[in-house]
């Protein structure tokens, strides 16, 4: 077999240039001495305060001319044809140009989504990552440009990545929801999606969301529906920490200590009152990320929230620009979907009702304030309206209709949107606030066909709604032809016992705190309540 030797000085020169110079060898030795011993990925809390403060400047500042550094930090290697080694080098070179030391580059890179075990593999007297950082710093010092993707095809290449569809035999698991079931197959708060809940100011949406947060965080059923325990972060731009604690205390005052402690362990309140935490910035009509979404993602990681619930109350406080513009809605939805993608959470926005729907008597799409792009982004849209006069008349609640709210889902991309639930606002005197609970309403029985016992039962229920600390002895005192029941004590007791048997009336055991606040005698052990 013969060999052909070919003279090619260009190939020889390229090989010689590849070999490190003596100065480069010394540089590598010096840089290696800067590294502290560490292995594995890091989180933001592992960084020094100085580096934490620089992260927004490095990756989320609106001063950046493009978003490629942030995308690269978040694991997007498409600019480098998904070549992980080239992506690692690019991130190290970028940080080197920002005047970070070798060890600082090592720490910051380990908080990125590019981390892989290969970084810690031994390479002679160093590791793969340290070798990459050393080479990148040397390239920066000699003004060697960060390598760009090689163009192997003269045709333009799409940056979009796609996959051909896959057929899943035997069906697929149902979508998961973080919230309770409110009617038939209607579940609230789909995971890995955005939900909007819309109501008038003082319509009860914040109180309802705090109640749902507490139930989800503790795994305590709501409306008789079992709930899987999950972590919840509740961010409010309107309520102080004190007010959030007030609502939580009113909601959980009758809970057992273990249930309440579970809720406290898995629920995080974040009061943003007085802070500017808009999700996007708008400069010269150009919408850019403000970095707040990344702050929320980092908080979720530190709290250990994955596949949980993140509530942003309310939409207007997290928005920049005119809510009626589709660009505003699109930019905010994009930031919310970042949170969804990073945490797998159900992200829930509370929002005010559109001015055109202030007097709405039914819950339909178009209820939310602002551009329809918001409703397009919501995978589930929930609406709350005060009980319309027609329903108040139907249920005989004309005098108290403002205490009742209807909750429905005019849009539900992941299931039925049929049905809904009635809610009642219940004042909690000792906390000077109200809670909101689900109730079942039935039309009153026509007087002409009611029995005497039914008429007495209806009057008992009316009395119990007015006096939540009514006892059997109090009712007995109202018996007789001169009393409000116009019935004997025996007939009154028969009607009451029947109502308790049927579950229309329940008994409530009095706590020491309730006895003290309401001035109840020591002998009062239980009171009567109209069942919800």
The band of 209, judged by pLDDT with boundaries at 50, 70 and 90, is very high
Exposed/middle/buried for 412, CB within 10 Å: 0-12, 13-18, 19+?
A: buried
Percent of the chain topping pLDDT 70: 83
pLDDT of residue 194: 94
* Encoded tokens for 493: 């007791």
pLDDT digits (tens, 9 = 90+) for 22-57: 444 444 555 556 788 888 898 888 888 888 888 877
C-alpha 187/C-alpha 407 separation (Å) is: 12
pLDDT of residue 32: 54
DSSP 8-state symbol, 6: -
**369 vs 185, which has greater pLDDT?**
185
For residue 437, pLDDT over 80 is answered with: yes
Across 119-123, 457-461, 513-517, least confident range: 513-517
Listed in sequence order, the residues at least 6 apart from 158 whose beta carbon sits closer than 8 Å to its beta carbon are none
pLDDT of residue 184: 79
Q: Residue 194 forms beta bridges with which residues?
A: 347
For residue 528, pLDDT over 50 is answered with: yes
pLDDT of residue 366: 53
For residue 7, pLDDT over 60 is answered with: no
Count how many residues are written for the chain: 532
Across 27-31, 47-51, 391-395, 503-507, least confident range: 27-31
Question: Which structural domains are found in the chain, ordered by start?
Answer: 16-141 (no CATH), 181-439 (3.40.50.300), 447-530 (1.10.10)
When pLDDT is averaged across residues 434-442 and rounded to a whole number, the result is: 91
Average pLDDT, the chain: 83
Listed in sequence order, the residues at least 6 apart from 187 whose beta carbon sits closer than 8 Å to its beta carbon are 177, 179, 180, 181, 415
Please report how the helices 452-466 and 489-501 are oriented relative to each other, as an axis angle in degrees rounded to 10: 80
Cβ–Cβ under 8 Å, residues 129 and 120? yes
C-alpha 428/C-alpha 420 separation (Å) is: 25
For residue 76, pLDDT over 50 is answered with: yes
DSSP 8-state symbol, 431: G
For residue 368, pLDDT over 80 is answered with: no
**430 vs 45, which has greater pLDDT?**
430
DSSP result, 434-456? EEEEEE---PPPPGGG--HHHHH
pLDDT of residue 2: 47
- Please give the angle made by the CA atoms of 245, 248 and 253, to the nearest 5 degrees: 120
Listed in sequence order, the residues at least 6 apart from 227 whose beta carbon sits closer than 8 Å to its beta carbon are 179, 180, 215, 216, 219, 220, 221
pLDDT of residue 67: 67
**76 vs 260, which has greater pLDDT?**
260
For residue 10, pLDDT over 70 is answered with: no
For residue 325, pLDDT over 90 is answered with: no
For residue 526, pLDDT over 60 is answered with: yes
3-state secondary structure 220-251: CCECCECCCCCCEEEEECCCCHHHHHHHHHHH
When pLDDT is averaged across residues 249-263 and rounded to a whole number, the result is: 96
When pLDDT is averaged across residues 275-291 and rounded to a whole number, the result is: 86
pLDDT of residue 372: 61
C-alpha 455/C-alpha 463 separation (Å) is: 13
The band of 251, judged by pLDDT with boundaries at 50, 70 and 90, is very high
Exposed/middle/buried for 249, CB within 10 Å: 0-12, 13-18, 19+?
A: middle
For residue 151, pLDDT over 70 is answered with: no
The band of 306, judged by pLDDT with boundaries at 50, 70 and 90, is very high
pLDDT digits (tens, 9 = 90+) for 88-146: 999 999 898 888 889 999 999 999 999 999 999 988 888 889 989 888 888 877 654 44
pLDDT of residue 146: 46
pLDDT of residue 275: 93
Across 75-79, 321-325, 332-336, 364-368, least confident range: 364-368
pLDDT digits (tens, 9 = 90+) for 375-385: 778 889 898 88
For residue 391, pLDDT over 50 is answered with: yes
SS3 156: coil
When pLDDT is averaged across residues 502-509 and rounded to a whole number, the result is: 88
C-alpha 18/C-alpha 441 separation (Å) is: 81
The band of 364, judged by pLDDT with boundaries at 50, 70 and 90, is low
Across 45-59, 313-327, 345-359, least confident range: 345-359
SS3 474: helix
Number of C-alpha atoms within 13 angstroms, CB side, residue 219? 9
Most confident of 28-32, 183-187, 354-358, 395-399: 395-399
C-alpha 451/C-alpha 499 separation (Å) is: 14
pLDDT of residue 425: 94
pLDDT of residue 22: 47
For residue 199, pLDDT over 80 is answered with: yes
Dihedral (C-alpha) 176, 178, 183, 184: value to the nearest 10 degrees?
A: 20
C-alpha 154/C-alpha 324 separation (Å) is: 43
CA 129 to chain centre: 36
CA 197 to chain centre: 12
pTM: 0.57
């Amino acid at each position: 077999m013969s060999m052909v030797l070919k003279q090619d000085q260009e190939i020889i020169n390229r090989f010689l240039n590849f070999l490190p110079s003596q100065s480069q060898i010394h540089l590598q030795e010096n840089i290696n001495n800067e590294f502290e011993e560490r292995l594995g990925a890091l989180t933001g809390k592992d960084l020094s305060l100085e580096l934490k403060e620089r992260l927004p400047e490095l990756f989320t500042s609106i001063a950046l001319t493009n978003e490629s550094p942030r995308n690269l930090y978040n694991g997007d290697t498409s600019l480098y044809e998904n070549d992980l080694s080239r992506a690692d080098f690019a991130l190290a070179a970028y940080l080197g140009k920002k005047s970070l030391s070798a060890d600082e580059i090592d720490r910051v890179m380990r908080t990125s989504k590019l981390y892989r075990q290969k970084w810690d593999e031994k390479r002679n007297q160093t590791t793969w990552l340290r070798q990459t950082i050393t080479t990148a710093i040397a390239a920066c010092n000699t003004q060697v440009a960060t390598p760009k993707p090689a163009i192997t095809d003269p045709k333009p290449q799409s940056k979009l990545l796609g996959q051909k569809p896959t057929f899943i035999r035997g069906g697929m698991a149902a979508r998961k929801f973080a919230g309770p079931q409110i009617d038939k197959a209607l579940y609230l708060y789909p995971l890995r999606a955005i939900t909007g809940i819309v109501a008038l100011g003082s319509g009860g949406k914040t109180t309802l969301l705090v109640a749902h947060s507490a139930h989800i965080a503790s795994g305590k059923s709501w409306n008789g529906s079992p709930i899987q325990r999950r972590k919840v972060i509740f961010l409010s731009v309107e309520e102080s920490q004190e007010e959030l604690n007030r609502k939580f205390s009113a909601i959980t005052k009758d809970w057992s200590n273990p249930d309440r402690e579970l809720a406290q362990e898995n629920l995080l309140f974040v009061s943003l009152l007085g802070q500017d935490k808009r999700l996007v910035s708008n400069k010269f009509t150009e919408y850019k990320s403000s970095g707040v979404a990344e702050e929320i993602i980092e908080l979720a990681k530190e709290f250990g929230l994955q596949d949980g619930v993140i509530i942003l109350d309310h939409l207007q406080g997290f928005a920049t620009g005119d809510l009626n513009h589709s660009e505003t809605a699109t930019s905010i939805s994009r930031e919310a979907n970042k949170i969804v993608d990073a945490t797998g959470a159900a992200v829930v926005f509370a929002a005010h009702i559109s001015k055109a729907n202030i007097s709405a008597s039914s819950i339909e799409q178009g209820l939310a304030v602002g551009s329809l792009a918001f409703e397009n982004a919501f995978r589930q849209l929930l609406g709350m309206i005060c009980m319309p006069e027609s329903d108040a008349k139907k249920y005989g609640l004309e005098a108290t209709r403002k205490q009742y709210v209807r909750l429905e889902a005019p849009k539900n991309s992941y299931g039925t949107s049929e049905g809904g639930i009635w809610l009642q606002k219940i004042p909690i005197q000792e906390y000077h606030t109200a809670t909101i609970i689900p109730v079942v309403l039935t039309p009153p029985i026509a007087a002409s066909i009611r029995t005497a016992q039914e008429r007495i039962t209806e009057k008992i229920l009316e009395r119990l709604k007015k006096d939540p600390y009514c006892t059997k002895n109090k009712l007995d005192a109202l018996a007789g032809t001169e009393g409000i029941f116009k019935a004997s004590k025996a007939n009154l007791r028969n009607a009451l016992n029947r109502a308790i048997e049927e579950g229309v009336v329940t008994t409530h055991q009095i706590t020491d705190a309730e006895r003290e606040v309401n001035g109840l005698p020591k002998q009062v052990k239980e009171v009567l309540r109209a069942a919800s």
